Structure 1
Amino acid sequence: MPDTVTIREHFKRLADFSGREDRASFWPYAAVAFAIIMVVGMIIFVPMMMSAMQEMQQFAAQHPEQVSVTSGPSQYSISVRGDPPELMPKESILLYLVATFGLAFVLYAAAVVRRLRDRGKSGLWGFMPFPFIIYSSIQVPRMFSSIGPGAQSDMTLFFSIFFSNLLYIITMIWLIVLLAGQSAPERDGE
């Protein structure tokens, strides 16, 4: 019989990769973990974007000859001509990615392994999406840093990121299907 784990017990078992876990225990925890990751992501992302917007507005005020500002009831945009300064530090983006992906890994890893084991699968199936999201997370900043006035777009890089994201989505769907299935019968020794 798979273990029934309460949401509170999940937080105590973040490093416990042993045993099994039924669907009824896994999905409520998965929803709570997702909400926590979203809230933490917003706590990091919103101030980061607000700071970048303030820096853009200051740049626009100091360099009106390089900037076009468009504002209306439901829009506000700043277009910069020429070579603008770095307005979104790479360290901020890195902090956001490390915090959200790291938190997701910590919150989900053990529960996913237990759930997959309950399905009669190896916990390694949980790593299916990782190569694709890691590749895209590394390459997207590289692609954006290569875009600029007079720069030639690297379409090979763009399509490799597109294909990686497509594979990420496919593997995430497959992982969700694996996690959603019925429990496998217990084998001797489990």
Structure 2
Amino acid sequence: MLQAVRYHLSHLADFSGRDARQTFWYWFLALFILNIVVGLAMSLPATISATTTALEATRSGGDPAAAQAAAMVGMAGSMRSMIIAGIVLGLVNVVLLAAALVRRLHNSGQSGLWAALVGAIYLFSLWQNWSSADQMVEVMRQMSSTSNPASAVEAQAQLARQSLLGYVPVVLVIVIGLLRSTPGQNRFGEVPVRF
């Protein structure tokens, strides 16, 4: 696996040639693990802060609804920075995965332009996250208020439907990763090295 990661790191801007399925999946796995670690590092401080606030409110004799509201207000305060960090991470993912995806398409005999479609959908979903950041923060604030929980739930459902677009590129990357390799040489080059 480490050889595949080193290979991909040294070929980040190489859109020619082919990548074997195994090599691609090792790279995808490394990026997946990296995303989990970075995601936890980004969300853990906000979660700890909100939980601490809720526990302090409960210890001081507050009712559970007030403690939950305090936690939600705390999360709403850090929501914008988490959205920005998520978008930056998404852009880094595009850079790290673009050439590998093109080479994987080449290995199955397909044009690398399909990767541009996947990237465009993903970038659109990142833009959609950025444009709805204020709405996400407002939903968190509404959820902290018990005055109108139905509107908060409806706003949250709308945001959830919008976020489904972000899963389309992930599914497409998985499908491309599963494409059958062209045996022998094809128009994009020799049989790729497997790690």
Could you tell me the TM-score, scaled by structure 2's length?
A: 0.67
Per the TM alignment, residue 34 of structure 1 is displaced from its structure 2 partner at its CA by 0.9
For 2:152 and 2:67, the matched residues in 1 are separated by 25
Tell me whether 1:113 sits opposite 2:113 in the alignment: no
For 2:119 and 2:4, the matched residues in 1 are separated by 24
CA 1:172 to 1:8, structure 2 compared with 1: closer, same or farther past 3 Å?
same
Per the TM alignment, residue 37 of structure 1 is displaced from its structure 2 partner at its CA by 1.5
Per the TM alignment, residue 170 of structure 1 is displaced from its structure 2 partner at its CA by 4.4
Cα contact 1:56–1:87 (8 A) shared by 2: no
CA 1:85 to 1:179, structure 2 compared with 1: closer, same or farther past 3 Å?
closer
Tell me whether 1:142 sits opposite 2:140 in the alignment: no
Superposition RMSD on alpha carbons, in Å?
A: 3.6
CA 1:117 to 1:126, structure 2 compared with 1: closer, same or farther past 3 Å?
farther
Output one character per residue of 1:96-121: Cα deviation in whole Å (capped at 9) or x when no partner: 41353234223322211221233313
Decide which of 136, 152, 176 is 2:174's aligned counterpart: 176
- The corresponding residue for 1:187 is 187
> Could you tell me the percent identity over the aligned residues?
23
CA 1:55 to 1:38, structure 2 compared with 1: closer, same or farther past 3 Å?
same
Unaligned runs of at least 5 residues, structure 2: 191-195
Corresponding pairs, count = 175
Per the TM alignment, residue 45 of structure 1 is displaced from its structure 2 partner at its CA by 1.8
For 1:126 and 1:181, the matched residues in 2 are separated by 15
Structure with larger RCO (C-alpha < 8 A, sep 6+): 2
Cα contact 1:41–1:99 (8 A) shared by 2: no
- The corresponding residue for 1:73 is none
Unaligned runs of at least 5 residues, structure 1: 71-76
Matches within 5 A, 1:1-20: 6-20=4-18
Per the TM alignment, residue 163 of structure 1 is displaced from its structure 2 partner at its CA by 3.6
- The corresponding residue for 1:49 is 47
SS of 2:180's partner is coil
Matches within 5 A, 1:55-74: 55-60=53-58, 64=61, 67-69=62-64
Per the TM alignment, residue 38 of structure 1 is displaced from its structure 2 partner at its CA by 0.9
- The corresponding residue for 1:126 is 118
Q: Which has the higher strand share?
A: 1
- The corresponding residue for 2:193 is none
For 2:154 and 2:57, the matched residues in 1 are separated by 33
Q: Which has the higher helix share?
A: 2
